Chain A
């Protein structure tokens, strides 16, 4: 064995290798996510820059889908799904993030604003078997795990939808929607300033 190599203990070499791996791995994952998004959204008319998909997804586009810049689709135990039916419109604003298992379906129109956050297993669909009505989600909205946004609903800017909520009526801006059917209360009533 090379005496210079063996001069350092094996653990040091292992640490070096681990450090190299830690530095390279996130970048490789990022590059893979960008490439995967390109492939997944090949049927989408307009895709912004730096859209990343970190897991498998199902995309079915027979209408018009518009995706903003810097979207993130996180991978996980269930693939997210984007469905846009013929003649329908599905648009997502820049910097919005999606966890795994999110289901977006547009029969007429689903519009999502910028900088929104969608937790795992959120469902947004503008047809429920009774009626079809467009859904609008304004900017900076956070929809928590398992929430369902029903047809015809508008969620106002900076609002939060609680986990598991069924949102059947409009949510005003700066509100917290909670329950089934969801009720809205002012965020000022429940949201502490960060860090206090």
Chain B
């Protein structure tokens, strides 16, 4: 399953939302509230083995599926050199 599909299925299962576009703002569409955002962050950290800094928890990184996927891919890239 791709990163996009994994995150999308987490959001659908956790927040009981049906249809939303990849570029929909979680906030403005009312898809995820503040507690939900914390759940999403915890999910990204656990399932993708990432460590998110507090200053990275901004709309540019987390406020739509497209942005979350791009952010996760970027974080994975940053992590790779340390692992290799």
Contacts and interface: CB of A to CB of B under 8 A. Distances in A.
Interface of A: 162, 172, 175-176, 178-179, 183-186, 188-192, 196
Given A184-B57, A185-B54, A190 B37 contact: yes
B54 A189 contact: no
A3 B58 CA distance: 74
B58 A186 contact: yes
A190 B27 contact: yes
A176 B34 CA distance: 8
Interface of B: 27-28, 30, 33-35, 37-38, 41, 54-55, 57-59, 62-63
| Dominant secondary structure at the A interface | mixed
Q: Give chain B's interface secondary structure class.
A: helix
Nearest to A190: B34
B27 A185 contact: no
A191 B54 CA distance: 16
Contacts of B41: 183, 185
B38 A189 contact: no
A191 B26 CA distance: 11
A189 B37 contact: yes
B28 A192 contact: yes
B59 A178 contact: no
Given A189-B57, A189-B63, 13 more contacts: A183-B38, A183-B57, A184-B54, A185-B37, A185-B41, A185-B54, A185-B57, A186-B58, A189-B37, A189-B59, A190-B33, A192-B28, A196-B28
Nearest to B63: A189
B28 A189 contact: no
A192 B34 CA distance: 10
20 contacts: A175-B54, A176-B34, A178-B35, A179-B38, A183-B41, A184-B54, A184-B57, A185-B41, A185-B58, A186-B58, A188-B58, A189-B57, A189-B59, A189-B62, A189-B63, A190-B34, A190-B37, A192-B28, A192-B30, A196-B28
Given A183-B54, A189-B63, A178 B27 contact: no
A185 B62 CA distance: 11
Contacts of B33: 190
A179 to B, nearest CB: 6
Q: Which 4 A-B pairs have the closest CB atoms?
A: A185-B57, A190-B34, A184-B54, A186-B58
